[in-house]
């Protein structure tokens, strides 16, 4: 089995960090190399989890749309929510998942603002629960 | 590049310091954030027969900046607070035109034998954290107590009326999000709506707000003394609680939210600030400004992400900000606002 992309990135990041600490004289070069190494660590993790995060996020938003659409008084928004809720991923490429994610995030913002306007407290709480889940899933650990 | 910059600096400083034999040496770039290129240099010359060496810092605009700021704002803030004896570098020269060094810049004295800590470092102040904390929160209180008119900074951007401080800042950062977001931001948008629906009480006064007062933006020496407060480029007029809320933000807590900035316990930090400023940190108002701080953070990180993604400023700090810092502040806002829904 060949090395996976995340392994290559992690090993390269460690080597870059070692070089930054030992072999680079100037402070700016050292600091910049260290940040590059840290970014490579982030990207290595994203290689493993990126598609899963996006697919789960899109799935969770669609579930919320299906659940909350009946509370929506605006007909065009309700129709858009029902249509989005019925959609499924047709590709697991990051770019395709991102495209769907952008559309759904836009819809989520409209839904949240609408529920606030009409005073649908339970709906608002449901959205905040979803937002906390999304934020936790996207959180980036330094360690 | 360094050789050419060194030559240009030599020509500039010979005129500026009236020193025809001046030479620039040991020019090197040092870390200083993504909003300005920062260089350390030495300028040697003779004056009245005496050999002089000045240790200087050059802050030059990058091709594109993390947040569009006027370098004159930072320079004038240094001038005003240096004159009052605050720990800031001595400002030397400001150039708003591009002729001398291709881009606008300013030069200030170097603070020797002192350094800034990384915001990622756990417990960076160690045995000095209590004394550093008292100085840190006290200096912020003294900045809040200063009168912008007496500082000569009353023309700075910002709110002119105590009732308008919050709305002025919300509008400013909402515009940044509008212009720079690469993807819809449901948490930042919800935070903006919350901030508008729950305005804070009017400010106790119009103060000079530093705009980025936090752990990591000051220099300390080996004895734990604060030698210089840095990065005044976002200084403006506004509610003094804005700076307090920003400095208290969990992002700067060095992984210990019970000690904002990694220094004093929160209640002690606020007490020191209140004593030094002569102002009150009303909990409800402060909560608003803390939530605003996290929203402002989101806006800055969104802007950084755009700079990197567009290629206009590929400094890796911008990628880090758009990745780690934005996710961090989204989490803080979701927790704080979600628990209030």
Q: What is the DSSP string of A71-117?
A: G---HHHHHHHHHHHH---S--SHHHHHHHHHHHHHHHHHHHHHHHH
Lowest-confidence segment of A74-83, A105-114, A130-139, B99-108 by average pLDDT: B99-108
- A8 versus B136: the higher-pLDDT residue is B136
pLDDT in tens, A42-93: 999 999 999 999 999 999 999 999 999 999 999 999 999 999 999 999 999 9
Q: Which of A27, A121, A127 sits opposite B30 (nearest CB)?
A: A27
Taking the Cβ of residue B341 and every Cβ of chain A, the question of whether any pair is shorter than 8 Å is answered with yes
Contact B206, B160 (CB under 8 A): yes
Instruction: Give yes or no for residue B152 having a pLDDT over 80.
Output: yes
Which of A135, A137, A143 would best serve as a mutation to test chain B binding (most B beta carbons within 10 A)?
A135
Looking at the complex, report in whole angstroms how far the Cα of residue A2 sits from the nearest Cα belonging to chain B.
29
Taking the Cβ of residue A1 and every Cβ of chain B, the question of whether any pair is shorter than 8 Å is answered with no
Average pLDDT over chain B reads 94
CB neighbours of A79 closer than 8 A, spacing ≥ 6?
none
CB neighbours of B336 closer than 8 A, spacing ≥ 6?
B290, B291, B294
DSSP B323: I
Q: Which of B31, B193, B327 sits opposite A28 (nearest CB)?
A: B31
CA torsion angle B230 B233 B238 B242 (round to 10): -50
Task: Name the token pair of B66.
Answer: 């993390």
- B206 versus A90: the higher-pLDDT residue is B206
Q: Report chain A residues whose CB lies below 8 A from the CB of B328.
A: 139-140
Q: Which of B28, B120, B338 sits opposite A26 (nearest CB)?
A: B28
3-state class (DSSP) for residue B203: coil
For B17-27, give one letter per residue: b (16+ CB within 10 A) or e: bebeebebeeb
Minimal-distance CA residue of chain B relative to A112: B190
DSSP B158: B
| Dist CA B118 CA B240 (whole Å) | 25
Minimal-distance CA residue of chain B relative to A28: B30
Instruction: Give yes or no for residue B2 having a pLDDT over 80.
Output: no
pLDDT in tens, B11-33: 999 999 999 999 999 999 888 77
Q: Report chain A residues whose CB lies below 8 A from the CB of B316.
A: 32, 35-36, 39
pTM, to two decimals: 0.94
Looking at the complex, report in whole angstroms how far the Cα of residue B255 sits from the nearest Cα belonging to chain A.
10
Q: Do A131 and B187 touch (CB under 8 A)?
A: yes
φ, ψ (nearest 5 deg) of residue B32:
-165, 25
- A36 versus B267: the higher-pLDDT residue is B267
Q: Which of A27, A121, A140 sits opposite B327 (nearest CB)?
A: A140
Q: Containing H/E element for A124? A: helix A121-138
Lowest-confidence segment of B32-41, B190-199, B276-285 by average pLDDT: B32-41
| Dist CA A61 CA A105 (whole Å) | 8
- What are the helix (H) ranges across chain B? 2-16, 71-83, 129-145, 148-151, 165-180, 186-197, 240-247, 266-277, 283-310, 316-320, 326-338
Query: In angstroms, what CA-CA distances link A89 with A81, A100, A106, B161?
Result: 16, 8, 17, 51
Domains of chain B in sequence order: 2-109 (3.30.200.20), 126-338 (3.90.1200.10)
Contact B272, B260 (CB under 8 A): no
- B301 versus B65: the higher-pLDDT residue is B301
Looking at residue B58, its pLDDT comes to 95
Contact B94, B72 (CB under 8 A): yes
Q: What is the DSSP string of B179-190?
A: HH-SS--HHHHH
Looking at residue B61, its pLDDT comes to 86
Q: Do B187 and A135 touch (CB under 8 A)?
A: yes
3-state class (DSSP) for residue B52: strand
| Dist CA B35 CA B63 (whole Å) | 10
Q: Do B320 and A35 touch (CB under 8 A)?
A: yes
Tell me which residue of A72, A79, A10, A14 sits closest to A43, measured CA to CA: A10
Q: Do B323 and A101 touch (CB under 8 A)?
A: no
Complex-level ipTM: 0.93
Taking the Cβ of residue A131 and every Cβ of chain B, the question of whether any pair is shorter than 8 Å is answered with yes
| Dist CA B205 CA B225 (whole Å) | 29
pLDDT in tens, B75-106: 999 999 999 999 999 999 999 888 899 888 99
Q: Which of A113, A135, A139 sits opposite B193 (nearest CB)?
A: A113
Q: Report chain B residues whose CB lies below 8 A from the CB of A140.
A: 323-324, 327-328
pLDDT in tens, B40-80: 999 999 998 899 999 999 999 877 554 555 778 999 999 99
Q: Which of A27, A106, A139 sits opposite B184 (nearest CB)?
A: A106
Instruction: Give yes or no for residue A23 having a pLDDT over 70.
Output: no
- Confidence grade of residue A24 (pLDDT, cut at 50, 70, 90): low
Which whole number is the average pLDDT over B247-274? 97
Lowest-confidence segment of A55-69, B97-111, B241-255, B290-304 by average pLDDT: B97-111
Tell me which residue of B236, B235, B234, B238 sits closest to B164, measured CA to CA: B238
Taking the Cβ of residue B327 and every Cβ of chain A, the question of whether any pair is shorter than 8 Å is answered with yes
Tell me which residue of A117, A65, A138 sits closest to B298, measured CA to CA: A138
- Confidence grade of residue A25 (pLDDT, cut at 50, 70, 90): low
Task: Name the token pair of A35.
Answer: 């940040």
| Dist CA A77 CA A114 (whole Å) | 9
Looking at residue A27, its pLDDT comes to 75
Q: Which of residues 111-130 of B touch A (CB under 8 A)?
A: 120
Task: Name the token pair of B11.
Answer: 């020509």
Taking the Cβ of residue B161 and every Cβ of chain A, the question of whether any pair is shorter than 8 Å is answered with no
φ, ψ (nearest 5 deg) of residue B26:
55, 40
Q: Which of residues 10-29 of A touch B (CB under 8 A)?
A: 26-29
Looking at residue B1, its pLDDT comes to 47
Lowest-confidence segment of B64-73, B110-119, B153-162, B232-241 by average pLDDT: B64-73
Q: Report chain A residues whose CB lies below 8 A from the CB of B197.
A: 116
Q: Report chain B residues whose CB lies below 8 A from the CB of A135.
A: 187, 327, 330-331, 333-335
CB neighbours of B79 closer than 8 A, spacing ≥ 6?
B91
Looking at residue B66, its pLDDT comes to 47
3-state class (DSSP) for residue B48: coil
């Amino acid at each position: 089995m060949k090395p996976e992309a995340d392994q290559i990135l992690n090993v390269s990041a460690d080597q870059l960090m070692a070089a930054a600490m030992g072999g680079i004289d100037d402070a700016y070069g050292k600091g910049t190399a260290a940040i590059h190494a840290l970014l490579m660590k982030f990207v290595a993790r994203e290689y493993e989890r990126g598609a899963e995060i996006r697919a789960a996020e899109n799935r969770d938003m669609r579930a919320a749309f299906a659940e909350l659409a009946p509370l929506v008084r605006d007909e065009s928004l309700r129709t858009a929510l029902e249509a989005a809720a019925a959609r499924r991923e047709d590709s697991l490429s990051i770019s395709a998942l991102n495209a769907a994610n952008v559309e759904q995030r836009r819809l989520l913002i409209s839904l949240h603002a609408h529920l606030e306007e009409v005073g649908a407290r339970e709906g608002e709480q449901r959205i905040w629960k979803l937002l906390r889940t999304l934020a936790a899933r996207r959180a980036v650990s330094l360690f | 590049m360094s050789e050419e910059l060194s030559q240009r600096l030599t020509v500039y400083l010979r005129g500026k310091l009236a020193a025809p034999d001046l030479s620039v040496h040991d020019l090197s770039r040092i870390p200083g954030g993504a909003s300005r290129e920062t260089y350390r240099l030495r300028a040697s010359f003779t004056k009245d027969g005496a050999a002089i060496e000045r240790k200087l810092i050059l802050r030059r605009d990058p091709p594109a900046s993390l947040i569009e700021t006027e370098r004159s704002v930072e320079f004038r803030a240094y001038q005003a607070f240096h004159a009052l004896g605050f720990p800031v570098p001595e400002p030397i020269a400001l150039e708003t035109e591009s002729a001398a060094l291709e881009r606008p810049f300013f030069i200030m004295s170097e603070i020797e034998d002192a350094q800034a800590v990384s915001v990622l470092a756990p417990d960076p102040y160690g045995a000095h954290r209590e004394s550093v904390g008292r100085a840190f929160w006290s200096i912020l209180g003294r900045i809040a107590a200063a009168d912008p008119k007496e500082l000569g900074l009353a023309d700075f951007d910002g709110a002119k009326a105590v009732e308008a401080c919050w709305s002025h800042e919300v509008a400013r950062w909402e515009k940044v999000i509008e212009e720079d977001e690469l993807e819809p931001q449901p948490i930042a948008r919800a935070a903006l709506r919350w901030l508008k629906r729950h305005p804070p009480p009017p400010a106790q006064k119009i103060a000079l707000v530093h705009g980025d007062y936090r752990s990591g933006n000051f220099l300390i020496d080996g004895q734990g003394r604060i030698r210089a407060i840095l990065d005044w480029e976002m200084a403006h007029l506004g509610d003094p609680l804005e700076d307090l809320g920003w400095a208290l933000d969990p992002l700067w807590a060095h992984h210990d939210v019970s000690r904002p900035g990694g220094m004093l316990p929160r209640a002690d930090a606020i007490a020191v600030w209140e004593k030094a400023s002569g102002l009150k940190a009303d909990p409800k108002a402060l909560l608003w400004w803390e939530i605003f701080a996290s929203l402002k953070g989101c806006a800055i990180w969104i802007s950084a992400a755009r700079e990197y993604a567009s290629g206009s400023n590929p400094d890796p700090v911008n990628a880090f900000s758009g990745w780690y810092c934005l996710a961090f502040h989204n989490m803080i806002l979701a927790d704080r606002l979600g628990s209030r829904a």
